[in-house]
Structure 1
């Protein structure tokens, strides 16, 4: 009986330690994923928040570009974009393109809530037909891509990523 209790106790302790290790990883910054996205910023034409057909390359211009594929109901996306919006002034020299497949009214509500909808360098684009999602092979959100001024991929992340790391990659 004591031997059985000891085995059960060891299994519970080992399981608990494993679970605690897992919990400690939740919310940690994402690490750079192996670069698997196409090496150049895609140039699809998508509707912006006002319903205007807009080229991704056109809104990126000749600036380093932060491209984020998100879903406003995703708590990780809410956290990531909330942190980004708090430090939006630090991104004034970069283009920011936020893309989703969500209905337009949900995207507008989310953009309004972030308080960055009216920033000249921030562009919300709707990927209605999931063209960009398919092209980039989006598997999880937020999916974050940093491109240089030549529209070449510098870094790719999935999940919550430290704002300082994004600024570092964009400033390259």
Structure 2
């Protein structure tokens, strides 16, 4: 009986050690696959919701910029953009660039409903060829990138992000 218990214990210990080794190998491979966001705001030219071509760098100008990649059918994006819209006056010293891959017809009603389309520092761009999505390797929306006045990345977020945190990062 003692011999059987000893064999079972030995098998459990060896099996556990092998499993932990397997898990540590998975962690190493996952870390190697981490995607890093480029540290400078990209300068693509995209059409806005009125069909006009705009350079992202020109829209950002010399102000800190909040760059948000979104989809109007995503409930997280809807919540995030609604929260930003409610506090739009607090963003008066910053540029906000909202970009999506979806066709204009699918998102125009959403943009109109936000009530911020007429703000001079708010820009909605269409990434119809997925250039920006590829640049950032967008995997989830909303994807939010905060840049300083020199167009250098300050912070990046995926999912709903507190407006106060975004304002803090923009203020530097």
SS of residue in 1 equivalent to 2:128: coil
Residues in 1 aligned to 2:56 and 2:35: alpha-carbon distance in whole angstroms: 20
Q: Please give the residue correspondences for 1:59-138 in structure 2 after superposition, counting only pairs within 5 Å.
A: 59-138=59-138
Q: Which residue of 1 aligns with 2:142?
A: 142
Cα displacement string for residues 24-68 of structure 1 (whole angstroms, at most 9, x for unaligned residues):
xxxxxxxxxx98210000000000010011100011110000000
Change (3 A) 1:124 1:80: same
Greater Rg, structure 1 or structure 2? Answer: 2
Residues in 1 aligned to 2:35 and 2:86: alpha-carbon distance in whole angstroms: 28
Residues in 1 aligned to 2:149 and 2:88: alpha-carbon distance in whole angstroms: 19
Residues in 2 aligned to 1:103 and 1:130: alpha-carbon distance in whole angstroms: 11
Q: Please give the residue correspondences for 1:31-50 in structure 2 after superposition, counting only pairs within 5 Å.
A: 36-50=36-50
Q: Please give the residue correspondences for 1:141-160 in structure 2 after superposition, counting only pairs within 5 Å.
A: 141-160=141-160
- Give the total of aligned pairs: 139
Cα displacement string for residues 63-84 of structure 1 (whole angstroms, at most 9, x for unaligned residues):
0000000000000000000000
Greater fraction helix = 2
Unmatched segments (≥5 aa) in structure 1: 1-33
* RCO comparison, higher one (Cα < 8 Å, 6+): 1
Residues in 1 aligned to 2:102 and 2:35: alpha-carbon distance in whole angstroms: 26
Cα displacement string for residues 84-124 of structure 1 (whole angstroms, at most 9, x for unaligned residues):
00000000000000000111122221110100000000000
RMSD of equivalent CA atoms: 1.1
Residues in 2 aligned to 1:122 and 1:62: alpha-carbon distance in whole angstroms: 15
